[in-house]
Structure 1
Amino acid sequence: MVGDEKQKIYAFAGAIDNAFSRASYDFQAEIENLDTTYRSTTNIVKGYSILFKDHLELQNDSKYKDFNFDIVICETKYDNNNDYIANTIAKLISDGKAELSDIAILTTSWRDAYFISKSLRQKYHVVGLGSLPHKNMNTSSFGLIRSLSKFLFSPSIINLRIIKRNFDSHSLENNIVFTEKELTYKINSLITSFKELELTANLTKGLSSVKHIFDTIFSVNNSDIEEIINSINNIDKSQL
């Protein structure tokens, strides 16, 4: 088990707090700290250590360790984060210090990520949540499908909220922004369409129906589901 305890900031994506100490206790295993970094500049390592007082002192063996650039730590008010981030990006680009593709924004909550990206889309092309490389069942498409299935078998306010969260995530991943009115209509249409699915259909036919629903609701081709269908068809052909 290898990882970074501080990745627990991604709790909204399923990260577990104190995962390593729990695993150490459950399996009576010893925790071994990795204290050498190979990919950071010296000032990034120092800045990271300032943010986390209990951070292990690192040895920097990166070929980039002597590169110099500014690190700014700024506390902002909650209601002006979006403007501050947009202005910072604009300044970085205008000063020639960065290209848009060089910029990444990390947040500590899904809610912040949603509203920051929604604001930035007014000026920039933003790759939203779920943009990291992933395959098949780990995509936002199947996260939404799972939440819809759960709601159909167990309708509740909590499960409806999960659908909305996954719907938002899938929209962000595809760079789609809906108004609140559109959002409500689209989610209702999605749930209604899923209720009308033929449950006795075979796997490829069922997935094709789901893909058609997604393509209609989001007005984009859903390559995630298409890839699964093609994979199944290829397996079927190989077994003929």
Structure 2
Amino acid sequence: GIVSSGTSSKQLDKETDARFVGYFGAVGEGLLSLGTILAVAGGLGSVARWEEVYSAFGQGGVNAFVEGGGRLMEQGIGLPASLSATVLATMAVLFAATTMDTGMRLMRFVVTEAAGSVNIQVNKFIATIVVVGIGMAMTFSQGLEGGGGMRIWPLFGTTNQLLASLTLSIIGVMLIRKRRNPLPALLPLILVFVMSFWAAIEQLFSFADPANPDWLLFGLDVIIIISSIWVAIEAFFAMRKAAVDPPEPENADEMLEVVREDV
């Protein structure tokens, strides 16, 4: 949701390009996922090597991707093993770099818009400095080895899926305004929100475990839960308002496009 509204939308020439770009972006993402699964699973060569690499939960990681993908490239297109491993390692680094770049860009948008909401003008340079500063502070908050980001990693899954439910709620409002069937958005919205909210509650109890408490994550989880309830209430009222308001004209998108071209 944030990526499509914050990054992709600024790369489209016009709104009607969104379906084409979004569809093939999803296809590309799916192919990348499929290739990664093949690399980390089928590329290891034998059951014995599989058991060695995945000897415990959390093992494997990037090394398994590089090794498995390199072997597939060597056997598939004949590249030498060393060159194949180098290509796969470069791909992994590029994935990480583009992810970091996208995250920084999105955070810069958030900082700029948040400051604008309180009538504070922040240019892109100041916003970038703020974002990089926050990122570095988080990265080195647990020491110079740079593992600070893993401190809040346990909350990633919950927040990621709650963000997905927010995106689905926006789509639901749009469909209701257009008087189209909202169930394709509302049904997964209910499932994703309920399961994610349930997970957040479960995590809250685990973070408050007297034997091994984690009060930082407990506090962040409380904020996430409160924010989720707030967003759910806002989404409900937005959908109810969309249902009673006059329907949006069928050619509303085309009319908006004409206005933008005139501007």
Please, what TM-score do these two structures have when normalized by structure 1?
0.27
Higher normalized helix content (fraction of residues): 2
